[in-house]
Chain A
Amino acid sequence: MRFAIIAAITLSVSSPAFGKAVKPVQPLSAEYIGKTMIVETKVTLSDVTRANFDKLEAKAAEKRAEAGLPVVAKDFALGERPKPDDYSTLPIVQMFPLMLEDVAKERGMTSGKAVRIAVEFDSLKTANAGAAILFGSNDQLAGLVTVTDAESGKIIGEYYVDVLNQRNGLLGLALRGSGVREKLAAEFSKRLVQTLSGSKKKIKGDS
């Protein structure tokens, strides 16, 4: 019991930034780094954690209904571009491309060689409150990103992006707040764009 208490306290005071990684599987060559613009983003969800995705997609649909917005099917193309405030009401396959485009524009990826991005998310997990209080838990969004030259159709890069945020104790959960899926997707986008643009600028939360 004493060990459990010590472990819980130790984990509770540890840093909330548990681990973030962009691992190159096939790195972009220098001719592409910082010289591309994203013309298309496609998202697929792996079956491995389908249940976790479905749970959060249902919450997004609830938010959409509460806001009085029309229902959006996952395989349905969006007409008018939604406002950023409404992103949280969209399924992740439609929300993520919008977020990525916004971040890419902010970081100046508006000209250069046209690239297509394909993301296969294979993990979306949110911290469990009970576990967070007892021994710590985490939020995670991870996936494999494939970068294709839009002109030649050739795969020019492949990266695995993993955003893992540790949440310990009540304080950790309180600091996290709401909109976990959106926060994870935004951080995933920032890390990906940082890699594609070759930017050395620090991302909030990095030590």
Chain B
Amino acid sequence: MKVGHKLAALTIACVAFASSTEAKRVADYSVTDAELIKWGQEQNINPLSALPAKSVSNVALEISPSVDHQVVRGGVFCSAWKIDNPISQIIRSIATQWDSDGTLASPGAGADVTLRIDQARTFSRCIGTGELVGTCITRVSIDGSVSVGSGKESRPVNVEVEFGGKMSGFCAGMAKSTATVSREAVIAFIKAAANDEAKAAEPKAQPTP
């Protein structure tokens, strides 16, 4: 890397670090799943999970209004960047794709599986690992519950997913990594629900006489 290039990179880093103007970004879920996977590859977040296999159930989804949140930023680098994570969008999208007929039921309207999302959080920090080299680490947590079958007894489900990327685009890449890591967390949540669904479908052991 030439000195001029290093200076340019340093200037960008300094502006990103020291800017008094808060830069606002939003994790964009309007893109296709293939695009989200491509973003993950750009950020060195690999391998990304495949979407869960289609459910055999009619799925209902309840999302608390507080689920959409702002990313908590740790550390000094990129601290001026504020990122909103409207994670309910990707929760709704992946849950819809998982549903047997691709149409979510209203909660309590005869659904076989009910997903309840109470809270979600994103924590991200960028650190230097060498001269003008760094990484951003993003952690997404989702708290909620899953109920399967007629009894509708719900089981709490908490997932936490963390990835360190290669900081492509430096601070500007954080919104993309927030979106890709959120996708992973949502898939982990749905997979937990799929496990519960599979367990409920297993034939119950007959009591021995």
Contact = CB atoms under 8 A, between A and B. Distances in A.
Interface of A: 3-4, 7, 18-21, 23, 25, 48-49, 52, 122-123, 125, 128, 131, 134-138, 140, 142, 144, 160, 162, 164
A171 to B, nearest CB: 19
Contact of B127 (A7, A23, A123): A123
A122 B74 CA distance: 12
Interface in B131-180: 131, 135, 137, 164
Interface residues of B, number: 24
A125 B77 CA distance: 14
Given A128-B131, A140-B127, A164 B7 contact: no
Interface of B: 3-4, 6-7, 10-11, 17, 72-77, 79, 123, 125, 127-131, 135, 137, 164
A123 B72 contact: no
> SS class of chain A's interface: helix, strand, loop or mixed?
strand
Given A48-B127, A48-B129, A48-B164, A23 B72 contact: yes
A174 B92 CA distance: 56
Contacts of A7: 7, 10-11
Contact of A122 (B79, B127, B131): B127
B71 to A, nearest CB: 11
A122 B4 CA distance: 30
B137 A125 contact: no
Contacts of B7: 3-4, 7, 135
B66 to A, nearest CB: 15
B6 A135 contact: yes
B128 A125 contact: yes
Contacts of A20: 76
A157 to B, nearest CB: 13
Given A7-B10, A122-B125, 20 more contacts: A21-B79, A23-B75, A25-B123, A48-B137, A52-B129, A122-B127, A125-B129, A134-B3, A135-B3, A135-B6, A135-B7, A136-B10, A137-B131, A138-B128, A142-B75, A142-B127, A144-B74, A160-B74, A162-B127, A164-B77
Nearest to B6: A135
B43 to A, nearest CB: 14
29 contacts: A4-B7, A7-B11, A19-B79, A20-B76, A21-B74, A21-B75, A21-B79, A23-B74, A23-B79, A25-B72, A25-B74, A48-B135, A123-B127, A123-B128, A123-B129, A125-B130, A134-B3, A134-B6, A135-B6, A135-B7, A136-B10, A137-B131, A140-B127, A140-B128, A142-B125, A142-B127, A144-B74, A160-B125, A162-B127
